[in-house]
């Protein structure tokens, strides 16, 4: 009987060695493989997320870069451009802070701009095209700052030269920020270049 037990040990060990690695023909389904964000809504109009108004473009995040999407903001009609800058900037800021729709999220869009921010015009010693935020630009994430700078500088809220003058709620001098190709391609790694400006 002892000899029979000894003979059974190698057989039992061989069976254990095969456990867990033997191929199976039983089909398994763990769902589809993760897909990369494609940054496209297949022709859907993103601007339907907003009320009818002035057509604009804002920069959202998709993957590791910034991409433009269509929006519409309400601005006062029949007023001079200088008087429309702040309402337009506020509308753009609201659109940037808006949570992307389900279709946009599925397509890979997101935003890092926090809600609740407001924008005002220049202070007494600021250049006339300054926009001051209730959150200082240096306190924003690099993603949020890139979104705001690129959106503002590409709109009628700025001078149209690819830059925008931004300041915070305090008395610190505003800075002129630029939206470059590197910023659009790598907003999390490259902050918008800026220079201090003074004088109104």
What average pLDDT is seen over the chain?
80
CA dist 80 and 85 (Å) reads: 9
Q: Contact, 84 vs 56, CB < 8 A?
A: no
Query: What pLDDT is recorded for position 76?
Result: 72
Strands (E), the chain: 54-62, 65-73, 109-110, 119-120, 131-133, 163-167, 175-178, 194-196
pLDDT at 46 over 70: no
Whole-model pTM? Answer: 0.76
CB-based burial, 50-66: b 16+ in 10 Å, e otherwise: beeebebbbbbbbeeeb
140 φ, ψ to 5°? -85, 155
The listed range with the strongest mean pLDDT (34-43, 128-137, 152-161) is: 128-137
Q: Contact, 174 vs 132, CB < 8 A?
A: yes
Query: What pLDDT is recorded for position 60?
Result: 96
Mean pLDDT of 182-188: 96
Residue with the bigger pLDDT between 87 and 78: it is 87
Query: What pLDDT is recorded for position 152?
Result: 97
Mean pLDDT of 192-198: 92
Q: pLDDT band for 39, please (50, 70, 90 cuts).
A: confident
Q: How many residues does the chain have?
A: 200
Residue with the bigger pLDDT between 14 and 141: it is 141
Query: What pLDDT is recorded for position 199?
Result: 67
Query: What pLDDT is recorded for position 90?
Result: 96
């Amino acid at each position: 009987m002892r000899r029979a037990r000894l003979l059974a040990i190698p057989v039992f060990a061989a069976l254990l060695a095969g456990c867990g690695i033997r191929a199976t023909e039983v089909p398994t389904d763990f769902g589809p493989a993760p897909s990369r964000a494609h940054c496209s809504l297949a022709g859907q109009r993103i601007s339907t997320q907003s009320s009818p108004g002035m057509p604009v473009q804002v920069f959202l995040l998709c993957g590791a870069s910034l991409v433009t999407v269509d929006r519409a903001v309400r601005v006062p009609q029949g007023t001079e451009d200088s008087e429309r800058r702040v309402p337009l900037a506020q509308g753009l800021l609201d659109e940037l802070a808006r949570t992307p729709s389900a279709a946009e999220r599925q397509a890979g869009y997101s935003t890092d701009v926090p809600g609740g921010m407001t924008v005002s015009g220049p202070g007494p010693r600021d250049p006339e095209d300054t926009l001051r935020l209730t959150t200082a630009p240096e306190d924003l994430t690099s993603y949020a700052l890139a979104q705001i700078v690129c959106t503002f500088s590409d709109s009628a809220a700025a001078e149209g030269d690819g830059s925008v003058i931004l300041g915070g709620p305090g008395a610190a001098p505003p800075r002129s920020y630029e939206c470059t190709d590197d910023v659009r391609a790598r907003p999390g790694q490259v902050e918008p270049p800026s220079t201090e400006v003074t004088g109104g």
